[in-house]
Amino acid sequence: MKPLFALPLVLVATTIALATWQHRTLTGLRQTEARLNSGRGSTEAGSPAPGPADGSETPPAPPPQVTDQELPAFIAEALTVKSEFESDRWFKISDKGDFSHPALCETLRRLSSAQLRAVLEAWQGGEAFAGDMATGLHRFMLLAGKVNPSATVPLMYELRAQRGEKAVPGAPSEAWRQWFRQDPDGLLQWARSAGLPEGFGDSCGLWTDAVLTARDPSEEHVRQLLAHGSDGDNWTHNEVVLKLPTQQARLTFFRSLHDATGGVTDDLVTYVWQLAQRLPFAQLAQIADETPTIKPAQPEEFAGRVGDDPLGSLRWEIAIHSRDSTAEQRWAWLTQHEEDRPSGKTLQWLAKKWSEDDYASTAAWVRSLPPGPERDTATQGLITSLKWNGAPERAREWEKK
């Protein structure tokens, strides 16, 4: 059986003989980062920019592909830093969502699938990938999936067809997510041309439906998206909501979500959590006010994710996750509906979360509450937040009140 990463000797000799490319300038790197994050811009206040899948703007021209003459030099450059991907140093330079080796990424993002495979073959030197997630090859493919998902995803399916999923380095779910963020139209075109290939937990079908839902958040498309089951670790539902280009599109999505679920879902946090950090509270409140009630099957049960927030209605999720110094307004809005009025541990949790995000606004809200059990409970949540976040003296001040 032919080794998975069998590299022609001529290519090896060429790569060793060539010098490492000169690193790109800082200006070039910033331009690259801006292009890579283009899917996260905004077109209306606080809104993520629509991608080409929304039909609202012309997709940017693709970067020039690496030529066959350039490829050996890039392979040589990658091999010079191979040891850094195989050591603990890799973790120090790749955390917090930043790209490790940004100069390498400048060329990595322009590789085709075939060229990326040639890099992997040179990296392995003829040895097959054995599924070890701690190897430099796995980490390099993680980086490739973030920087150049349109080349990485097809290569992953090619390797899967030849050797099985365990022989595929990198993280398919992350590569799919990055492709959805950067070029949803390109994702959809490849998925359809490839015949919606199976594997990796039906990721291709899942992200295809994500693109269709971002284009048109109709009840039909939302149902297709939900048919893939729980969002799990993919956070696909969250990505779809962030990709919706306008307030009207978001309103349509949540109405479709209500109709598709019968107004009952335990996944509300996945739709609201990051959206509430990007949109002003007024826009979020409008969505809930103009959408029929959506609530979890078991209110006030702990979700076991995103800080173990207790589950609540759409209004609750919006109120607890908003972050624009509107604590008093959020409370007045939330408690318009008595069934959404938190009490006990749930109220303590809300005060704690609000205080962690914005102490000044939360303290003003607590002071505005009438004396009594509700104010006392909210005060306890604020005190807990202060103690947990290194402000014991301020906590003692509140304990005296």
pLDDT in tens, 236-289: 999 999 999 999 999 999 999 999 999 999 889 889 988 998 999 999 999 999
Residue 215: is it exposed, middle or buried by C-beta count within 10 angstroms (0-12/13-18/19+)?
Answer: buried
Give the separation between CA 289 and CA 300, rounded to whole angstroms.
21
Residue-level pLDDT at 97: 53
Residue-level pLDDT at 298: 76
Give residue-wise pLDDT tens across range 147-180. Answer: 999 999 999 999 999 988 888 999 999 999 999 9
Residue 207 within any structural domain of the chain: no
Residue 125 within any structural domain of the chain: yes
Across the range 310-333, mean pLDDT stands at: 93
Residue 26 within any structural domain of the chain: yes
Please check the confidence at residue 125 and state whether its pLDDT lies above 90: no
Residue-level pLDDT at 131: 66
Residue-level pLDDT at 234: 53
- Domain of residue 156, residue span: 1-188
Largest CA distance in the chain: 81
Residue 291 within any structural domain of the chain: no
Residue 333 within any structural domain of the chain: no
Residue-level pLDDT at 32: 34
The three-state secondary structure class of 138 is helix
Residue 301 within any structural domain of the chain: no
Residue-level pLDDT at 88: 61
User: Total domain count for the chain?
Assistant: 1
Give the separation between CA 212 and CA 218, rounded to whole angstroms.
9
* Residue partners of 212: CB distance under 8 A and separation at least 6: 188, 221, 224
Phi, psi (deg, nearest 5) at residue 214: -65, -35
Q: How confident is the model at residue 229 (pLDDT cuts 50, 70, 90)?
A: confident
Please check the confidence at residue 322 and state whether its pLDDT lies above 60: yes
Residue 147 within any structural domain of the chain: yes
Residue 82 within any structural domain of the chain: yes
